[in-house]
Amino acid sequence: MMDVDKVLAAAAAGREASRARWFELLRIPSVSAQPAHAGDCRRAAEWVRAQLAGMGFLAQVRETGGHPVVVAQHPGPTGTGPHLLYYGHYDVQPPEPLELWSSPPFEPVMTEGPNGPRVVARGAVDDKGQTMTWLEALRFWHETAGGPPCRVSVLIEGEEEVGSKNLAAFLETHAEELRADVAVVSDTNQWDAATPAISTRLRGMLYTQIDIRAANKDLHSGLFGGSALNPINLLTRILGELKDEAGVIQIPGFYDDVPELPAALAAQWNALGFDERAFLGGVGLSEPAGEMGRGALERLWARPTADVNGIWGGYTGEGSKTVIPAEAHAKVSFRLVPGTSPTKVLAGLRDFIVARLPEDARVSIQVFSMSEGIKVPADSPYVEAAKGALAATFGRAPVLMGCGGSIPVVSSMKQILGLDSLLVGFGLEDDQVHSPNEKFDLACFEKGIDSHIRLLDALSRIQPR
């Protein structure tokens, strides 16, 4: 019996224990966006560190300017294979609005879905569940074969959901220590419940908060209406003009760095037979609302967006209040394609707003997150290894896909450590990521563990260049 088969057998025998460890992590409300949960973020980091230490890793919780990072190293059997850097994040999105959850967000429960049992909790999939797939793979390698089949480093951060704002500095400071041959990341989706996927494209992001101020206090709309500037009316005008009716972003020069999708890639994506009506139907929508005249996967994976993620100002209580408020606010984010500079988009956004400001309005723009979109080479031996591991686990070949989301660390690892990332993820479209009732199918979790067990084996056989 090959080592890998023994490890797989151990994983099959240890399903219940794997699930119990995953649940432990889910019970820690490590919401990175909310300062009240800073202590919980640290608890999650400590929990992860202890897991790794128990698998023979030299594991530490390291300080940053924000929530801490877990770093761990295992030498593996000396002299064989490449050095792998596994990346994950232990932080989660805020669970609000709480009233839409059918069970408490930090008390995981198992329910029945169309693909069998599923686990419902904030972070079930993003990214605690996905991180646990490779942590469990490493655990079964440790328990069965005494350790991973090649050298492994681990980096688990706690600020992915708030833009990984301290991670780039951390990578720069510890570049020597963290440099490896390839990074492995599980924070993306399968193609569908039966078909695995490797993601070779990620969008980048610019996430901002726009604050507009006018009068020095709230005013009565009867006394001042017709004379005083209303910052909400102004904000709606600015944001309303951000895209035209065809969904095209109106910031001058915005598309200068947005390349057209290569025909070959467009053809490959079209061949996937993505059913956008079904995709939207699952959330109660029927019509695509992005850029007109573009393919569905092109819009989701290879075109930029401009979304208002939050807006507030004036009286928002019950009933009526005839106020012209002093301030109005919005959270506005852009998904960016590889090649677009978030810094340039930020400058364009600022100019776009300033050009629409009357004399009495002042604007401030806070930046919460900036990352470039990235492309991963699809022809490397690492991708080949992943194709084999996934095909063996799922019984069918993986799809090479794009991803509309952003994993800022992937571009940071490329820029700072010179590392390409192998993006193998086990989420499904209906996982309610960032929404109430987030879930992860148990079958995805378990196939994720098995895939990572096989992937470790396959990667260990590659001779690094």
Question: 126 Cβ partners below 8 Å, 6+ apart?
Answer: 92, 93, 187, 427, 431, 433, 434, 438
User: Please, which of residues 320-359 interact with a second copy by CB under 8 A?
Assistant: 320-325, 328-331, 333, 335, 358-359
State which residue, 133 or 432, has the beta carbon closest to a second copy.
Answer: 432
Query: x/- string (CB under 8 A) for a second copy, residues 29-68?
Result: ---xxxx---------------------------------
Q: Is 100 in the site for a second copy (CB under 8 A)?
A: yes
Two tokens, residue 371:
């990352």
Q: Where are the beta strands (DSSP E) in 240-295?
A: none
Shortest Å distance, C-beta 73 to a second copy: 31
Among 67, 89, 139, 203, binds a second copy (CB under 8 A): 203
Q: Is 236 in the site for a second copy (CB under 8 A)?
A: yes
Shortest Å distance, C-beta 79 to a second copy: 40
Question: 114 Cβ partners below 8 Å, 6+ apart?
Answer: none
Shortest Å distance, C-beta 51 to a second copy: 27
Q: Is 273 in the site for a second copy (CB under 8 A)?
A: no
Among 5, 177, 241, 275, binds a second copy (CB under 8 A): 241
Of 365, 70, 414, the closest CA to residue 238 belongs to 365
Among 162, 171, 383, 458, binds a second copy (CB under 8 A): 162
State which residue, 104 or 288, has the beta carbon closest to a second copy.
Answer: 288
Terminal Cα distance for the chain, rounded: 30
User: Please, which of residues 250-269 interact with a second copy by CB under 8 A?
Assistant: none
Shortest Å distance, C-beta 326 to a second copy: 8
Of 48, 58, 83, the closest CA to residue 157 belongs to 48
For residue 241, report the phi and psi dihedrals to the nearest 5 degrees.
-95, 0
Shortest Å distance, C-beta 205 to a second copy: 7
User: Please, which of residues 278-307 interact with a second copy by CB under 8 A?
Assistant: 279-280, 283-291, 296, 299-300, 303, 305-307
State which residue, 370 or 456, has the beta carbon closest to a second copy.
Answer: 370
Q: Is 172 in the site for a second copy (CB under 8 A)?
A: no
CA dist list (Å): 188 to 90, 196, 403, 427: 15, 11, 7, 6
Q: Report how far Cα 408 is from the mean position of its chain's Cα atoms.
A: 8
Shortest Å distance, C-beta 20 to a second copy: 28
Two tokens, residue 250:
């109106």
Of 452, 465, 462, the closest CA to residue 138 belongs to 452
State which residue, 163 or 196, has the beta carbon closest to a second copy.
Answer: 163
Query: x/- string (CB under 8 A) for a second copy, residues 435-464?
Result: xx----------------------------
Contact window for a second copy (CB under 8 A) among 111-119, 127-135, 222-230, 341-349:
222-230
Shortest Å distance, C-beta 269 to a second copy: 13
The C-alpha atoms of residue 129 and residue 108 are separated, in whole angstroms, by 11
DSSP secondary-structure letter at 77?
S
Of 187, 126, 139, the closest CA to residue 17 belongs to 139
Among 146, 253, 310, 395, binds a second copy (CB under 8 A): 310
User: Please, which of residues 399-418 interact with a second copy by CB under 8 A?
Assistant: 403-406
Angle (nearest 5°) at CA 151 between 191 and 62: 85
The C-alpha atoms of residue 306 and residue 206 are separated, in whole angstroms, by 9
Query: x/- string (CB under 8 A) for a second copy, residues 115-144?
Result: ------------------------------
Other C-beta atoms closer than 10 Å to the C-beta of 346 total 16
Among 117, 225, 252, 395, binds a second copy (CB under 8 A): 225
Among 130, 164, 369, 411, binds a second copy (CB under 8 A): 369
Q: Determine the 3-state secondary structure of 109 from DSSP.
A: strand
Angle (nearest 5°) at CA 98 between 95 and 103: 95
The C-alpha atoms of residue 381 and residue 302 are separated, in whole angstroms, by 25
State which residue, 286 or 463, has the beta carbon closest to a second copy.
Answer: 286
Site size for a second copy, by CB under 8 A?
103
Q: Is 235 in the site for a second copy (CB under 8 A)?
A: yes
State which residue, 66 or 82, has the beta carbon closest to a second copy.
Answer: 66
State the DSSP string of 214-250.
-SSS-EEHHHHTTTS--HHHHHHHHHHTSB-TTS-B-
State which residue, 153 or 199, has the beta carbon closest to a second copy.
Answer: 199
